[in-house]
């Protein structure tokens, strides 16, 4: 069975600085997708970024980028130029192309300080 | 505006009563999902449906039931058999079909059972 591990329960960063959130996963599949979702205090789950396992190039979305290491089964999220609005829970998630099931990590609570 | 709606935002029930949570989407997505979120945990899959009139159990289906009579609607019933129903419930949808796509989430319903 697939598992997703986020080893940092809480992180903090000063506004305008850069922070990296860690995620590792375990799977025997070769084709899959990885996602980072953001859950602000409103509790709405918002898709931040997506990575297809077959793509070697790391995904980027404006200030958000990932470091995808397929052999190491690692998928970290880098937030550059952090903003107060980035304060939220961040969940790493694995999507199996076989089952279409999304498996979540336990989340990292990020606090951005002014 | 296309999106997923869940109502109500907050729901209170007495122990022993069944309660139905609403989820509607106008994204023309084939697949719909129900997740449960407890404090300190990631989301866990309750039920999912990849097409109208068909649905499958997720990882924690006991005490829950669903129906999928219409493409745009996927209501979840929390029955009195669910031992610990107080939680935050999130509905999601994805394009589905032959391709695997990311899931988009509704705003959630906070259910409190006393």
Buried b (16+ CB within 10 A) or exposed e, B51-64: eeeebeebeebeeb
Higher-pLDDT residue of B44 and B96 is: B44
Q: In the prediction, which pLDDT does A69 show?
A: 96
Q: In the prediction, which pLDDT does B99 show?
A: 63
- Judge residue B99's burial from the number of C-beta atoms within 10 Å of its C-beta, 0-12 exposed, 13-18 middle, 19 or more buried: exposed
Best residue of A2, A53, A100 to probe chain B, by most B CBs closer than 10 Å: A100
- Please tell me the distance from the alpha carbon of residue B2 to that of residue B59, in angstroms, as a whole number: 29
Neighbouring CB atoms inside 10 A of A68's CB total 20
Question: Number of Cβ pairs closer than 8 Å across A and B?
Answer: 50
What confidence category does residue B100 fall into, taking pLDDT thresholds of 50, 70 and 90? Answer: low
- A-chain residue closest to B110, CA distance: A43
Cα-to-chain-centroid distance, residue A101: 17
A interface with B, Cβ–Cβ below 8 Å: 4, 33, 35, 37, 42-47, 50, 91, 93, 95, 97, 100-102, 104-107
DSSP symbol at B79 = -
- For residue B105, list chain A residues with Cβ-Cβ distance below 8 A: 37, 44-46
Higher-pLDDT residue of B106 and B100 is: B106
Once rounded to an integer, what is the mean pLDDT over residues B79-85? Answer: 89
- For residue B58, list chain A residues with Cβ-Cβ distance below 8 A: 101
């Amino acid at each position: 069975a697939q598992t997703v591990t986020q080893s940092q329960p809480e992180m903090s960063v000063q506004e305008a600085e850069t922070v990296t959130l860690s995620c590792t996963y375990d799977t025997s599949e070769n084709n899959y997708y990885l996602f980072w979702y953001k859950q602000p205090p409103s509790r709405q789950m918002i898709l931040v970024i997506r990575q297809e396992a077959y793509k070697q190039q790391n995904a980027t979305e404006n200030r958000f980028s990932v470091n995808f290491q397929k052999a190491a089964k690692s998928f970290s999220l880098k937030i550059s130029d952090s903003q107060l609005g980035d304060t939220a829970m961040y969940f790493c998630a694995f999507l199996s192309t076989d089952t279409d099931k999304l498996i979540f990590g336990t989340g990292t609570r990020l606090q951005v300080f002014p | 505006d296309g999106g997923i709606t869940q109502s109500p935002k907050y729901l209170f029930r007495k122990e022993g009563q069944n309660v139905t949570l609403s989820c509607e989407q106008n994204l023309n997505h084939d697949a719909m999902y129900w997740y449960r979120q407890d404090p300190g945990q990631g989301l866990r899959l309750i039920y999912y449906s990849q097409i109208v009139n068909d649905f499958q159990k997720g990882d924690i289906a006991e005490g829950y039931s669903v129906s999928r009579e219409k493409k745009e609607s996927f209501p979840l019933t929390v029955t009195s058999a669910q031992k610990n129903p107080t939680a935050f419930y999130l509905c999601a949808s994805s394009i589905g079909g032959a391709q695997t796509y990311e899931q988009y989430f509704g705003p959630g319903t906070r259910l409190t059972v006393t």
